[in-house]
């Protein structure tokens, strides 16, 4: 009888030990998930340019993204001025431009510096919402680079759905459709964009666009450079939605060539 109890106790201890080990392995996988997304060991440099219309919270977005970028080993130059695009030494030293600069104006010289960096020098650019696709409304070559331009958000802040249409791309892989309460961007877009997610409009706020499906996330090329864009992010709290923030972070990593 004693031997049977002892064997049972040993069996229970063995199973408990196995469960603990498996749990630790799972936890290690969870905590390592973010670091595993980054494939490059080379330190890369990013220019983060912010400003323009304050309604899109450029400072809050700066404070959300810059610490994350630095924690992953990137060198980040933060600038509130479009004159950064005139700094040839700076522009030749970076791998990626992240811009949130809604509306406003850009000089011919500033735009030329930006376009050359992406088109001719192969520097990537990434951004979201109006900070990239509603900046510099008079500059059509800039819009050609981005791949789209905001024209309306019927109803203003509304509930809508984002639909993942490419489940194999590393930016959207493993993500499901999700709900957002924000501005649903109706855009004029480049047909050569590689669309990763879309959103479909109802007739509630503009009856003539019922059923129109527009890109919400895309990537593309402009000359030698890579471009990433998501229409999500009217205010920084939109990135409290895990899927929205995951898409933005992965898009940045893709732009850097560091997304597995």
Residues of the chain with pLDDT > 70: what percent? 85
Compute the 3-state secondary structure of the chain and give helix, strand, coil in percent, each to the nearest 5: 40, 30, 30
Q: On the CB side of 213, how many CA atoms lie within 13 Å of its CA?
A: 8
User: What CATH number is attached to the domain comprising 135?
Assistant: 3.40.50.880
Residue 12: predicted pLDDT: 40
Is the Cβ–Cβ distance between 80 and 109 less than 8 Å?
no
- Mean pLDDT value across residues 117-138: 98
> For the packed helices 242-256 and 58-71, what is the interaxial angle rounded to 10 degrees?
60
Q: Is residue 93 part of a domain?
A: yes
The string of pLDDT tens digits covering residues 182-215 is 999 999 999 999 999 999 999 999 999 999 999 9
Pick the residue with more confidence: 79 or 18?
79
- Mean pLDDT value across residues 132-148: 98
Report helix, strand or coil for 1.
coil
Domain count, the chain: 1
Residue 182's Cβ-count burial label (10 Å; 0-12, 13-18, 19+) is buried
Q: Which domain holds residue 189?
A: 42-256
Residue 213: predicted pLDDT: 98
Which distant-in-sequence residues (6+ apart) come within 8 Å of 166 by Cβ?
172, 194, 195, 196, 197
Residue 42: predicted pLDDT: 72
- How far is 234 from 150, CA to CA, in rounded Å? 12
Which distant-in-sequence residues (6+ apart) come within 8 Å of 169 by Cβ?
194, 196
The pTM for the full model equals 0.86
Residue 40: predicted pLDDT: 64
The string of pLDDT tens digits covering residues 29-75 is 333 344 435 766 578 999 999 999 999 999 999 999 999 999 999 99
Which region, left, alpha or beta, applies to residue 184 given φ > 0 means left and ψ of -120 to 50 means alpha?
beta
Of 13-22, 132-141, 228-237, the one with minimum mean pLDDT is 13-22
């Amino acid at each position: 009888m004693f031997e049977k109890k002892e064997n049972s106790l040993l069996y229970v201890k063995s199973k408990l030990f196995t469960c603990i080990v498996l749990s630790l392995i799972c936890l290690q996988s969870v905590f390592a998930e973010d670091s595993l997304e980054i494939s490059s060991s080379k330190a890369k440099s990013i220019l983060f340019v912010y400003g323009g219309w304050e309604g899109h919270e450029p400072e809050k977005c700066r404070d959300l993204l810059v610490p994350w970028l630095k924690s992953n080993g990137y060198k980040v130059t933060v600038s509130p001025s479009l004159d950064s695009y005139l700094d040839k030494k700076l522009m030749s030293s970076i791998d990626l431009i992240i811009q949130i600069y809604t509306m406003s104006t850009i000089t011919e010289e500033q735009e030329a510096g930006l376009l050359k960096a992406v088109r001719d020098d192969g520097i990537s650019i990434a951004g979201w919402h109006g900070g990239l696709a509603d900046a510099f409304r008079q500059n059509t070559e800039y819009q050609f680079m981005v791949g789209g331009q905001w024209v309306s958000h019927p109803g203003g802040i509304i509930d809508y759905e984002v639909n993942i249409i490419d489940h194999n791309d590393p930016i959207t892989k493993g993500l499901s459709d999700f709900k957002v309460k924000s501005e649903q961007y109706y855009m004029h877009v480049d047909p050569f964009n590689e669309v990763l997610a879309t959103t479909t409009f109802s007739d509630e706020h503009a009856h003539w666009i019922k059923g129109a499906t527009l890109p919400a996330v895309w990537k593309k090329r402009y000359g030698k450079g890579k471009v990433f864009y998501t229409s999500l992010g009217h205010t920084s709290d939109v990135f409290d939605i895990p899927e929205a923030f995951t898409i933005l972070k992965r898009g940045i990593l893709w732009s850097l060539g560091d997304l597995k």
